[in-house]
Amino acid sequence: MTGIFVTGTDTNVGKTAVAAGLAGALGLLGYNVGVMKPVQSGAAVKNGELYSQDAEFLMAAVDKIEVELVCPVLLKEALAPGVAAQIEGRDIDLSLIKDAYTELERRHDIVIVEGAGGIAVPLKDKFLISDLITYLGIPAVIVARAGLGTINHTLLTIEHAKNSGIYIIGVIMNNYRGGMAEETNPKIITELTGVPIVGIIPSDPTVDVEGCRLGSIISLVERNVNIDQIIRSIKTDK
Ligand SMILES: Nc1ncnc2c1ncn2[C@@H]1O[C@H](COP(=O)(O)OP(=O)(O)OP(=O)(O)O)[C@@H](O)[C@H]1O
Ligand SMILES: [Mg+2]
């Protein structure tokens, strides 16, 4: 069918957790779901080999899938991918990413693609994550923190996405803990941007991306994200 690009207002906002939750929840609805983390900087090392913790977590939420397609570009330094690649004397090969994505799209009904950092992070020269989204030609979900400071980050991300011609499915707020800011933020973001909030996911201690433990993330997404709205929205975008 298509892909959904999961970008965020920042690094560490919960893109991997939400992307895996979405992938798992769509799988439970009967979709054959693929996942992708096209570029991983700050890759971890296991048995002397680089690997992506994010890719492992995403892969834990779906049926067996080839890691070479899921994460075609691994970079050692924990920096913006464009900078990490430069330090390694490498150039991120966009056609490698596109080919892997095309193959995943061929094999699956829906491919959930996780970005790196936020939407304006450079991959090479002046090519940003937003350019990768338009290059793949898929709509985006924006993961945002639920708490204080999120209005500014979310509005800037939405504005950048709109200026780049990206179709925004909606915002998913993550790590909701309650409190005045968290309760009022969703309404303000939708009023100011017209972009729907398609989910508010509570903070849950069982979710552990670093330890590759999905915990409750799939059922949290099932219960707190409007998956029907997301599916309707990607069908409209086609
Ligand atoms: N709803 C949640 N409840 C509790 N912990 C969460 C939740 N969502 C994410 N986390 C934790 O927060 C941290 C950041 O989440 P995650 O790795 O998904 O962020 P990210 O945006 O993908 O980061 P990166 O930019 O490094 O890819 C992780 O330790 C993860 O286990
Ligand atoms: Mg991540």
Domain segments of the chain: what residues? 2-237
Enclosing H/E stretch for 197: strand 197-202
Question: What's the mean per-residue pLDDT of the chain?
Answer: 96
Smallest CA separation from ligand 1 atom 8, residue: 14
Q: What is the mean pLDDT of residues 183-207?
A: 96
94-134 pLDDT per residue, tens: 999 999 999 999 999 999 999 999 999 999 999 999 999 99
Q: What is the pLDDT of residue 103?
A: 97
Please say if the pLDDT value at position 193 is more than 90.
Answer: yes
**How far, in Å, CA of 41 to CA of 68, rounded?**
15
Cα 29 to ligand 1 centre (Å): 24
Closest atom of ligand 1 relative to the 206 alpha carbon: 4
212 neighbors 44 (Cβ within 8 angstroms): no
Could you please report the per-residue DSSP string of 76-135? Answer: SSSS-HHHHHHHTT----HHHHHHHHHHHHHH-SEEEEE-SSSTT-EEETTEEHHHHHHH
Mutate to test the pocket of ligand 1, among 13, 16, 214 (most ligand atoms within 8 A of CB): 16
Q: What is the pLDDT of residue 181?
A: 87
Please say if the pLDDT value at position 237 is more than 70.
Answer: no
46-101 pLDDT per residue, tens: 999 999 999 999 999 999 999 999 999 999 999 999 999 999 999 999 999 999 99
Fold for the domain defined by 2-237: Rossmann fold (3.40.50)
Please say if the pLDDT value at position 178 is more than 80.
Answer: yes
% of the chain residues with pLDDT over 70: 98
17-44 pLDDT per residue, tens: 999 999 999 999 999 999 999 999 999 9
92 neighbors 82 (Cβ within 8 angstroms): yes
Cα 114 to ligand 2 centre (Å): 7
Query: Which residues are close to ligand 2, an ion, with C-beta < 5 A?
Result: 15-16, 54
Cα 11 to ligand 2 centre (Å): 7
Q: Which amino acid is at 189?
A: I
Smallest CA separation from ligand 1 atom 15, residue: 14
Q: In what order do the strands lie in the sheet with 110-114?
A: 33-36, 110-114, 2-8, 140-145, 168-176, 197-202
Enclosing H/E stretch for 189: helix 180-193
Please say if the pLDDT value at position 238 is more than 60.
Answer: no
Cα 7 to ligand 2 centre (Å): 9
Tell me the pLDDT band of 182, cut-offs 50, 70 and 90: confident
Closest atom of ligand 1 relative to the 115 alpha carbon: 27
